[in-house]
Chain A
Amino acid sequence: MSDVITTTVIVATIASGIRLATPFLLASLGEAIGQRSGVLNLGVDGVMLLGAFASYYVVLETESIWLGVMTGILTGLLMGLFYAIITVPLRAEQGVSGIGIYLFGLGMSDLLFQKLVGTPLPIDQFSEWHVPLLSDIPVVGEMFFQHTPMVYIAFLLVPIIAFIINRTTFGLSIRAVGESPESADSLGVSVPKVRFATIMAGNALAGLAGAALAIELGIFQQNLTNAMGFIAIALVYFGAWRAPGVMAGSLVFGMVGAIVLQAKTLGLIPRSASDIAAMAPAVITILALIIVANRFRQPAALTKPYVRGD
């Protein structure tokens, strides 16, 4: 065994797990922000798909990766605005309107792709950015500091979002709105404003996740995300609505996936059992949550539209 599992293999597997975790992390962070303010969005996958297509198309036409990334974010913002209008002033049922958004994104991204592009053509991909000094550390440098920029952005967002939610007035408003919109309102916090902000920010992150995926892969095709957005929602529950928890969930899911892939590549898993092995990320994510025993409770006002004075 030990002659197969070399340092190189371990380093490659961990780096691979981090890459696999990145789109989940971006989308989960976005979903977590929305849910902290009491809004569930089941449409993440649709927004990811639209963000992925928009960024893919812009990169294909302009050859500018960063313009593509910006387009992905912008697409997310627009979808966020749409979703916010539906769920805040119009008070639509969040579970089912999210599914509507998902179906819209799934169909629309495919339709636009067929109309505007047709045959899948490759686009420029992110190139790796080696963090000065840190990337030179043996083993560790290769695992953590030789990635594409989107990986760093995703993981840097974890402390930033945690800080905003836990240490700023705005974060306090978000939590208040998610726990008790009535008291937040009585303290002068505008529930609709906060929710518009969190929904749009959350969707922007979903759009960014889509952009990250399309540009990392250098391609788009029908249903590119393959239901990643739903896994991202699941990981919010894993992470108990907290940024570090969401990161842990994304890493567990990504890392187990990477280990299984690596083991298959090395022939450590017989081919007859390859489907069984592919279950591992899902099963281990559930088991991990049982063992960690999640004692956190969901935001009290989650999925509840706020009606002033009712």
Chain B
Amino acid sequence: MNTKYIKQLGISAVMAMSVGFASSSHAEGMKVAIIAPSASNDLAFTQSIVDAVNVLKDEYKLEIAITDGTFVVDDAAAAIRAYAKQGYDVVIAHGSQYGGSLKEIAPDFPETAFTWGTSADTFGLPNVSSYEAKSNEGGYVMGVMAGAMTKSNVIGVVGPIEVGDAKLYVDGFVDGVEASNADAKVNVNYIGSFGDVALSAEAGKAHIANGADVMTGTAQMVVGAVGAARSENVAWFGTQANQTKLGKKIVVASQVYKWEVVLRTIFDDAKAGKLGGEMHEITLANGGLVMEFNDDYSLDADAKAAGEAAVAGIIAGDIKLGE
């Protein structure tokens, strides 16, 4: 392809604008490609990386290409390979299911910096770095608050399949509840799907029927469970992106992934010629994980204080979280 296209990144995203310009004109900038499994505006996993790259766009003079909605693993592999061939400086494979392919592709393109997540594995390759969210930290903090808030002592969790980032988050949340309220019972329901919104809504309703007055959940299909919480006025904790938009009256707080913290390091390294080898993580301590509260929700002062104490404790290392 001689004609290059750059992405017009606006609120509506995904719109295309074809601008032909010579490939030499971005000498000082960088070309970054993202391959991600769901929609760029999913208010969850994919949006977190797209937002982060956009934050850094001006600072690093980025030329950005996004292939989103790539749930087919082989299609993602083809996209990773194609971006590398087209000379992108950094290729971000944003999905833990893409790692196996990346491991095979990266050695063919020693000049390209690949990074992927969430994972803690660089396969010992010099041009692959990985990134991971310590989502159990935010999960723990929100669990602590949930434990302090609940009146019924029943808390509901809706998860997809017990794997990866979802499991890490849910396990952290359950630990947090246990730490703050030994009497509270956490019902965890892995519904067996990342995509079944209707089932996730019913899982939320099942929690509520069993007395849950605080809920959380993770993955794309949680919009269903949030809807159940909204119609029954049950408090909700979000993760991966700020979910306040999904329920202004019920979302207490969200754990937001600020990947720009690690991407900055990855981009700086790439500029300096260091293409990989590092495992990065976002944590509460390095500012990659941020608790964003919903100002419209009148959160009990004690619960908020408990949450803030937990954040401080995790940052200071006083609270140790199991792996």
Shortest CB distance A154–B (Å): 14
Q: Is A180 an interface residue, CB under 8 A from the partner?
A: no
B184-203 CB contacts (< 8 Å) to partner A = 187-193, 195-199, 201-203
Assess the B210–A125 pair: CB atoms within 8 A: no
Assess the B209–A12 pair: CB atoms within 8 A: yes
Of the listed stretches A25-33, A238-246, A258-266, name the one at the interface; the rest are far from the partner chain: A258-266
Assess the B206–A120 pair: CB atoms within 8 A: no
Q: Which of A8, A127, A222 contacts B209 (CB 8 A)?
A: A8
Q: What residue in chain A is nearest B212 (Cβ atoms)?
A: A265
Assess the B12–A266 pair: CB atoms within 8 A: no
Assess the A265–B210 pair: CB atoms within 8 A: yes
Assess the A20–B245 pair: CB atoms within 8 A: no
Beyond A222-B69, A226-B193, is A275–B209 a contact (Cβ under 8 Å)? Answer: no
Q: Is B220 an interface residue, CB under 8 A from the partner?
A: yes
Beyond A261-B191, A264-B189, is A217–B224 a contact (Cβ under 8 Å)? Answer: yes
Q: Is B42 an interface residue, CB under 8 A from the partner?
A: yes
B1-58 CB contacts (< 8 Å) to partner A = 11-14, 38-39, 41-43
For A267, the chain B residues whose CB sits under 8 A away are 187
Assess the B201–A216 pair: CB atoms within 8 A: yes
Beyond A122-B227, A217-B224, is A265–B196 a contact (Cβ under 8 Å)? Answer: no
Assess the B197–A261 pair: CB atoms within 8 A: no
C-beta contact mask, B237-261 vs A, less than 8 Å → 1, else 0? 0000000011100000000000000
Q: Interface SS of chain A: helix, strand, loop or mixed?
A: helix
Shortest CB distance A53–B (Å): 13
Q: What residue in chain B is nearest A17 (Cβ atoms)?
A: B202
For A262, the chain B residues whose CB sits under 8 A away are 206, 209
A223 to B227, CA, bound (A): 17
C-beta contact mask, B286-308 vs A, less than 8 Å → 1, else 0? 00000000000000000000000
Shortest CB distance B67–A (Å): 14
What bracket does the count of chain B residues touching chain A fall in? 35 or more
Q: Which of B192, B220, B226 contacts A274 (CB 8 A)?
A: B192
C-beta contact mask, A15-51 vs B, less than 8 Å → 1, else 0? 0100110010000000000000000000000000000
Shortest CB distance A106–B (Å): 12
Q: How many residues of A contact B (CB 8 A)?
A: 41
Assess the B12–A118 pair: CB atoms within 8 A: yes
Q: Is A177 an interface residue, CB under 8 A from the partner?
A: no
Assess the A219–B223 pair: CB atoms within 8 A: yes
A8 to B12, CA, bound (A): 45
Q: Is B183 an interface residue, CB under 8 A from the partner?
A: no
Q: What residue in chain A is nearest B246 (Cβ atoms)?
A: A122
Assess the B39–A114 pair: CB atoms within 8 A: yes
Assess the B209–A261 pair: CB atoms within 8 A: no
For A257, the chain B residues whose CB sits under 8 A away are 199, 202
A186-231 CB contacts (< 8 Å) to partner B = 213, 216-219, 221-224, 226, 228
For B192, the chain A residues whose CB sits under 8 A away are 274-275, 277-278
Q: Is B265 an interface residue, CB under 8 A from the partner?
A: no
Q: Is B230 an interface residue, CB under 8 A from the partner?
A: yes
A20 to B197, CA, bound (A): 11
Assess the A271–B227 pair: CB atoms within 8 A: no
Q: Given contacts A122-B245, A218-B230, A258-B206, could you give 11 more A-B pairs where the C-beta distance is less than 8 Å?
A: A12-B209, A16-B206, A16-B209, A114-B39, A218-B227, A222-B39, A226-B195, A226-B197, A264-B203, A265-B187, A274-B191
Q: Mark B residues whose CB is within 8 Å of A.
A: 11-14, 38-39, 41-43, 69, 156, 161-162, 187-193, 195-199, 201-203, 205-207, 209-210, 220, 223-224, 226-227, 230-231, 245-247
Among all A-B residue pairs, the 3 with the closest Cβ atoms: A278-B192, A12-B209, A218-B227
| A–B Cβ pairs within 8 angstroms, 18 of them | A20-B198, A20-B199, A20-B202, A114-B14, A115-B12, A121-B245, A122-B247, A125-B227, A125-B231, A127-B231, A219-B197, A219-B224, A221-B220, A222-B69, A226-B196, A261-B199, A264-B191, A264-B203
